[in-house]
Amino acid sequence: MFERGCSDAAPFLLRLIGRWRSDGEKHMLKREIIETVQVPGGAELQLTKHGRDFIIVLDRNELMSTRMQYSEEQLAVMTLDRIGTDNANVLIGGYGMGFTLRAALAQLGEKARVTVAELVPEIINWARGPMAEITQDCLDDPRVILELDDVAEVIGDAADMGTQYDAILLDVDNGPDGLVHDGNNRIYSKTGLGKARDALHPHGVLAIWSAGPDPQFVRRLSNAGFNVEEVEVRARPNNKGPRHWIWFARRKS
């Protein structure tokens, strides 16, 4: 009877050992550094790969990864829901891994226009190269205009020329602090926010993604002439993962 029990348990034990081995091998996978680039006037960024996942790293900080993109997608989805038009004129800064851009294109109509401002050319090279399968040709969409420039310059030019965006979506750092690029601080200054306000349609929305809450920045938005709505979004669609914040700002009447 004992020998029969062992025989019946053998397939189960083999499956269990195989599962342990598979999980162990998964955790033992080393990160592969694909490329390191210098951000103009800022720090070094690395594109790394861990198994099938891509990760962009600053020092030891994960700025973004293909494992957790829901909040970046919601930056586009929730903003477009608020402006209520399919054929919007939208500015996205920056490209990152393209989650926000692809979510916007999926929701926008054929006559929409989406300008993407990206400061670091290598980010676009990564999108067209090692991450091409994820990019899904979104940068070649006829609705997309790619500007290899600082989004602050693009916003400033729009404000000076009277261009009006229906929405400006900003995810150029981990939030209002210039972690990656010190120049990003000027985007979130009172002057920079005033430029964004001037570049918006009167009923347009300025949407800003952040890795954490920032009551001081919310007050700064208000002082720059915006009514602010704050929304907490999880990094994964199953309501799990880190908490992120999105601020939706409209001109005060």
- Per-residue tens of pLDDT for the chain, all 253 residues: 333 344 455 555 555 445 544 444 445 678 899 999 988 776 789 999 999 999 999 877 888 999 999 999 999 999 999 998 889 999 999 999 999 999 999 999 999 999 999 999 999 999 999 999 999 999 999 999 999 999 999 999 999 999 899 999 999 877 786 544 455 678 898 899 999 999 999 999 999 999 899 999 999 999 999 999 999 999 999 888 999 999 999 999 8
Instruction: Answer yes or no: are the C-beta atoms of 39 and 120 closer than 8 Å.
Output: yes
Matching residue, tokens 């195989």: 18
The runs of H, that is alpha helices, within the chain are: 2-28, 70-83, 99-107, 121-128, 132-135, 151-161, 184-187, 190-198, 215-223
Task: Give the pTM.
Answer: 0.86
CATH node for 68-251: 3.40.50.150
Which sign does the torsion angle of CA 173, 59, 52, 33 carry? positive
Select from 165, 191, 172 the least CA-distant residue to 250. Answer: 165
CA dist 97 and 61 (Å) reads: 16
Query: Is the bond preceding residue 24 a cis peptide, omega within 30 degrees?
Result: no
Residue 180 CA, distance from chain mean position:
14
Q: Which two tokens stand for residue 167?
A: 């929405």
Matching residue, tokens 């915006």: 226
Q: Tell me the domain boundaries of the chain.
A: 1-27, 68-251
Residues β-bridged to residue 91: 115, 168
Q: In what order do the strands lie in the sheet with 200-210?
A: 144-147, 113-117, 89-93, 165-170, 200-210, 243-251, 226-234
